[in-house]
């Protein structure tokens, strides 16, 4: 009880309340604008949060992270254009409902499902806190190193069909983390006698370039689309009643979101597709999915909004971000000398509980705001792409320059903006670069710290948690290699086998045919000879 009162006291400050309002309302507005997304907004706001208290800065970023998915459902449902990338599945059933004149019903369902997913995730996070407080201190240098290595492997495996490119980009991110002064003897690495590289490649500069500047360039090269909003009927309050008629779909989808959110490198996309697929299999009317099914809309929106709170678990407990947005939040911790990990649960548990309560209040504020402001937020979808691109470009360079008042940082950000632009045009992932930079630095520090107490390779996994993490790594790598081998090698062999067996069968069939023809001719001759003889 004292812990809860202490957490409430942390939140009951005017600056934290303002941060909650700005994060929730701003996140909804950003999500409602197609082409921006939470990654761009967080990247732009990140330099500004360094001057704020940790709880204030993180509340703003968490507000944008969580509420942007609420707002992203608005253009996905009304104009078939997802406001954020994770609202792509919402278009499958949301837009057909709009075409039937049920746009308000679809929005109401999306809001209620998102609210349920967010609250369910926060409640799970609160219930898991005592367990995390007991387990987190068991993680030493070896365990955190193996957990970071597991996160990198999961990031690569999650990009199925692009694993080789994801591995190369992750390796590029790890290489970027090694540039500058190494953390033990402070010798220079890969600086090429350039003084501006001695401090390394700044993570925030890279993030602003890869996400914000690249998106600005992408918007500037796109043509403006004419948005037509169709009239819709229904009430924005009816979705909560309809959600209550599908408790199994909502609960299963929220569970997928929580589980996938806790696993580094997986995120909203996997949670959405798994929940949508399971809802379709369990539904009595699977043929309605993709045609305006309320169950499909509930499954997609519940899953993606259950992820943000769950994604905070590896970040807070181990200091390991699961994806790009939590990696950006990690920098806020480091700037204020707040080290996420086991020590956070031991010495600053009131700070952790305050973040949980902030997420809880955030979902209530977002739903209340959406129920009264959807009519105005719809017009944000009409903002021209090139105007958005110029605004993002200007704000990005202002943010980069404000970090260290360095024109060199602006040039570095521009280079990474071009790299991100090329990757986006080629439909290649950007997230592995950021996670490689963050997790690569963590791995190097923890590996060096653990090697002083390791004499043989087996000493590295002689503790239970370290052995479990090592076993998971072996199983995932072996399973991935087996899947790749099964998908490629046997197919070639089977095709060769079919070809060779087909040729062999044709040869046998030809031989049998010729043998049958010869035998038939011999029998006819014998019959003719017998007839002549008789």
Tens digits of residue pLDDT in 121-134? 888 888 877 777 77
**Is residue 371 over pLDDT 60?**
yes
Confidence of residue 62 (pLDDT cuts 50, 70, 90): confident
Whether the CB-CB separation of 179 and 200 falls below 8 Å is answered with: yes
pLDDT (tens digit per residue) in 324-348: 777 777 777 777 777 777 777 777 7
Q: Which residues pair with 25 in a beta bridge?
A: none
**Distance separating alpha carbons of residues 257 and 478, to the nearest angstrom:** 26
| Number of Cα atoms under 13 Å in the Cβ half of residue 215 | 27
**Distance separating alpha carbons of residues 27 and 14, to the nearest angstrom:** 20
**Distance separating alpha carbons of residues 268 and 303, to the nearest angstrom:** 7
**Distance separating alpha carbons of residues 67 and 115, to the nearest angstrom:** 10
Tell me the percentage of the chain whose pLDDT exceeds 90: 2
pLDDT (tens digit per residue) in 432-462: 888 888 888 888 888 888 877 777 778 788 8
**Is residue 255 over pLDDT 80?**
yes
- The angle subtended at Cα 138 by Cα 136 and Cα 143, nearest 5°, is 95
| Number of Cα atoms under 13 Å in the Cβ half of residue 332 | 28
The domain limits of the chain are 2-453
Strands of 176-293, DSSP E:
180-181, 188-189
Tell me which residue has tokens 């044709």.
506
C-alpha dihedral, 356 to 361 to 365 to 367, nearest 10°: 70
How many angstroms separate the Cα of 339 from the Cα of each of 160, 330, 344? 33, 9, 7
**Distance separating alpha carbons of residues 76 and 29, to the nearest angstrom:** 14
The burial of 170, by beta-carbon neighbours within 10 Å (0-12 exposed, 13-18 middle, 19 or more buried), is given as: buried
239: left (phi over 0), alpha (psi -120 to 50) or beta: alpha
What mean pLDDT is reported for the chain? Answer: 78
For the entire predicted model, the pTM comes to: 0.74
The burial of 495, by beta-carbon neighbours within 10 Å (0-12 exposed, 13-18 middle, 19 or more buried), is given as: exposed
Confidence of residue 530 (pLDDT cuts 50, 70, 90): very low
How many angstroms separate the Cα of 413 from the Cα of each of 165, 245, 300? 22, 50, 34
3-class DSSP assignment, residue 189 = strand
- Taking each helix axis from N to C end, the angle separating 90-99 and 103-135, rounded to the nearest 10 degrees, works out to 160
Q: What share of the chain is helix, strand, coil (3-state, %, to 5)?
A: 80, 0, 20
Whether the CB-CB separation of 295 and 289 falls below 8 Å is answered with: yes
**Distance, C-alpha 389 to centroid of its chain:** 24
Tell me which residue has tokens 């109401």.
108
């Amino acid at each position: 009880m004292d812990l809860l009162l202490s957490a409430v006291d942390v939140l009951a400050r005017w600056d934290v309340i303002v941060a909650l309002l700005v994060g929730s309302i701003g996140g909804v507005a950003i999500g409602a604008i197609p082409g921006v997304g939470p990654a761009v907004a967080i990247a732009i706001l990140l330099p500004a949060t360094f001057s704020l208290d940790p709880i204030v800065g993180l509340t703003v970023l968490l507000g944008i992270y969580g509420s942007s998915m609420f707002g992203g459902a608005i253009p996905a449902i009304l104009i078939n254009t997802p406001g954020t990338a994770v609202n792509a599945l919402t278009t499958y059933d949301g837009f057909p409902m709009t075409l039937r004149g049920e746009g308000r019903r679809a929005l109401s369902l999306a809001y209620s499902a998102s609210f349920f997913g967010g609250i369910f995730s926060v409640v799970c996070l609160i219930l898991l806190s005592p367990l995390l407080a007991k387990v987190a201190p068991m993680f030493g240098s070896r365990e955190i190193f193996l957990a970071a290595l597991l996160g990198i492997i999961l990031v690569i495996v999650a990009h199925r069909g692009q694993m080789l490119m994801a591995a190369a980009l992750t390796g590029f991110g790890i290489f970027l983390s090694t540039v500058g002064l190494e953390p033990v003897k402070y010798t220079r690495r890969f600086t090429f006698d350039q003084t501006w590289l001695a401090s390394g490649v700044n993570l925030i500069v890279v993030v602003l370039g890869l996400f914000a500047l690249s998106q600005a360039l992408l918007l500037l090269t796109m043509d403006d689309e004419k948005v037509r909003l169709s009239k819709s009927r229904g009430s924005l309050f009816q979705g909560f009643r309809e959600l209550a008629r599908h408790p199994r779909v909502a609960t299963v989808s929220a569970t997928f979101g929580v589980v996938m959110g806790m696993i580094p490198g997986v995120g909203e996309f996997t949670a959405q597709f798994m929940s949508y697929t399971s809802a379709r299999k369990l539904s009595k009317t699977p043929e309605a999915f993709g045609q305006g099914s309320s169950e499909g809309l509930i499954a997609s929106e519940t899953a993606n909004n259950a992820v943000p709170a769950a994604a905070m678990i590896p970040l807070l407990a181990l200091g390991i971000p699961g994806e790009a947005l939590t990696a950006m939040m990690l920098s806020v911790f480091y700037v204020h000398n707040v080290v996420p990990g086991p020590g956070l649960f031991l010495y600053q548990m009131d700070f952790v509980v305050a973040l949980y309560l902030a997420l809880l209040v955030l979902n209530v504020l977002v739903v209340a705001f959406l129920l009264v402001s959807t009519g105005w937020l719809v017009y944000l979808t009409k903002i021209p792409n090139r105007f958005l691109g110029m605004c993002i470009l200007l704000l990005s360079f202002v943010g980069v320059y404000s970090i260290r008042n360095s024109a060199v940082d602006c040039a570095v950000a521009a280079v990474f903006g071009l790299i991100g632009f090329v990757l986006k045009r080629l439909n290649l992932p950007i997230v592995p670069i950021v996670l490689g930079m963050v997790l690569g630095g963590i791995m190097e520090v923890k590996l060096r710290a653990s090697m002083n107490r390791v004499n043989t390779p087996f000493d590295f996994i002689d503790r239970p948690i370290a052995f479990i993490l090592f076993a998971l790594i072996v199983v995932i790598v072996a399973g991935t290699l087996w899947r790749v081998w099964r998908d490629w090698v046997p197919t070639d062999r089977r095709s060769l086998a079919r070809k060779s067996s087909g040729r062999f069968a044709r040869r046998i069939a030809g031989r049998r045919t010729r043998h049958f023809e010869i035998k038939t001719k011999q029998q006819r001759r014998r019959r003719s000879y017998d007839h002549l003889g008789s």
